[in-house]
Amino acid sequence: MNLRQKRGQETKRRITEAAITLFHERGFNNVTVDEIVAVTKTSKGAFYNHFKSKHEVFAEQFKQIDQFYVEHLVPKLEPEQSIMERLSLFLELQMTYIQDELGWDVTRTIYEQELSTERSSYFLDPDRPLYDILIGLCQEGIEKGEFKAGYSAHDIVTVLIHGMRGVLYNWSLNRGKISLVDEQRMVFRALLDGLRDE
């Protein structure tokens, strides 16, 4: 990577971090590209060189969140644990991270933006690292006989993803006044108990 490419990556990182901070503090719709540019001491040209819109900053944030899962959450899952224990721990760590680091308003804004009909949703991207993590765990669980017969790894991941979306959406509707971590614990215990082989 040459010096120009390194500078470009650094500029993109600064814009992403500043924009997410501003969105978190003031709400997505209350932040303009001009304000992001002013905070980062860059130019509109630099912003639009890296992002087509403010929404694309969120797409970049999704990639960083998924990378965080890969680098920081997956290593905390112990191979000697059952798949059910690893899934429960992963979901707990994931929701703790979202609650403590992203907050309900950023989460609400992500959902709002992802419902737009003007673009495809990153939620539906089958190549998301989050899906790879869950598919790997669920496939191992099937092979070890931890799940009821008749479910594919894809089926189980679909149920888990729907659970995640429901818990996050409900937390956002409640404006963060309920504990996301406690809520997910109750919901995923019920889901995993229903999928568990007796």
DSSP string, 72-88: IIGGGS-TTS-HHHHHH
Per-residue pLDDT band at 1 (split at 50, 70, 90): confident
Residue of 118, 85, 111, 106 whose CA lies nearest to 166: 111
94-100 average pLDDT score:
95
Q: What percent of the chain has pLDDT over 90?
A: 67
Of 22-31, 33-42, 61-70, 127-136, give the lowest mean pLDDT range. Answer: 22-31
DSSP summary character for residue 127: T
Q: What share of the chain has pLDDT > 70, as a percent?
A: 100
Lowest mean pLDDT among 8-22, 102-116, 125-139, 183-197: 102-116
pLDDT at 32 exceeding the cut of 90: yes
Average of per-residue pLDDT values in the chain: 91
Contact 127, 98 (CB under 8 A): no
- Inter-helix orientation angle 54-68/33-40, to 10°: 60
Find, among 115, 110, 103, the residue nearest to 174 by Cα.
103
User: Among 15-24, 96-105, 114-123, 136-145, which is the least confidently predicted range?
Assistant: 114-123
Pairwise pLDDT comparison (115 vs 143), residue with the higher score:
143
- According to the model, what pLDDT value does residue 115 have? 81
